[in-house]
Amino acid sequence: MKLILLGAPGAGKGTQAEVICEHLHIPAISTGNIIREALKNGTEMGLKAKSYMDSGALVPDDVVIGIIKERLAQDDCKGGFILDGFPRTVPQAQALDEMGIVIDRVIDIEVADEKIEQRLSGRRVCEACGASYHTLYKPSKEEGVCDKCGGKTVIRKDDEPATVRDRLKTYHDQTEPLKGYYEKSGKLVIVQGQEKVEDTTKLTLAAVEA
Ligand code: AMP
């Protein structure tokens, strides 16, 4: 099963990707996590991406397409994968097609902008492993500590309110057109993001299995 999760930043793509990953035993691939890891390790790619990421803009297509090509060539992707945060532009979607990758389903998780702004103010991420939490909707067992690896959970720099507004604009301008792109091929399923994570999970799993 080859899946794409579409949706605005903070719609819950990462959280749902984790659930599907456990359910279907296929890797969840987040370009955002790969870029943050590169940044943490001080690689050339990470440093190149930093200014775009910090300002809420998209990293150039050639950089992320390169990242995805490399990642999808790894052995664990042979049985399928879930893409979280890729593609984010029409040229990125075209690059996937040109790689000969046939996507089975594209799940778009829809959440209103006002809700996104509220949600992202409560998001916390583990600075060690990238796991995502929310102070209200998905708190870690111990405040400030990652359940998975014991790392410190922090606020992402790009979750500051002004940057979130820029990221939403970027989403509407550059990523939302992908809905039309995948609708044409009959692969798009729309899921309304719910207040409770588990309710969105039910809808998402139903969309995967439909
Ligand atoms: P995310 O963790 O998915 O919200 O991604 C965080 C940031 O990483 C985005 O705001 C972009 O700056 C960058 N990024 C992640 N995925 C992509 C992509 N597919 N295309 C361009 N930029 C990306």
Where are the strands (E) in 43-94, listed by range? 81-84
Residue 67 CA to ligand 1 center (angstroms) comes to: 12
pLDDT in tens, 120-137: 999 999 999 989 999 988
Model pTM score: 0.91
Angle at 2 between CA 69 and CA 90, to 5 degrees: 60
Q: Give the CA distances from residue 36 to residues 7, 13, 54, 59, in Å, rounded to whole numbers and listed in that order.
A: 19, 17, 11, 12
> Whole-angstrom Cα distance, residue 168 to residue 9?
7
The best mutation among 29, 30, 31, 89 to test binding of ligand 1, ranked by most ligand atoms within 8 Å of the C-beta, falls on 31
Residue 52 CA to ligand 1 center (angstroms) comes to: 9
pLDDT in tens, 10-38: 999 999 999 999 999 999 999 999 999 99
Radius of gyration of the chain, Cα coordinates, nearest whole angstrom = 16
Ligand 1 neighbours (beta carbon < 6 A): 9, 30-32, 35, 52-53, 58-59, 64, 85-86, 88, 92, 158, 167
How confident is the model at residue 195, as a pLDDT? 87
Count Cβ atoms within 10 A of the Cβ of residue 11 and give its class: 0-12 exposed, 13-18 middle, 19 or more buried. Answer: buried
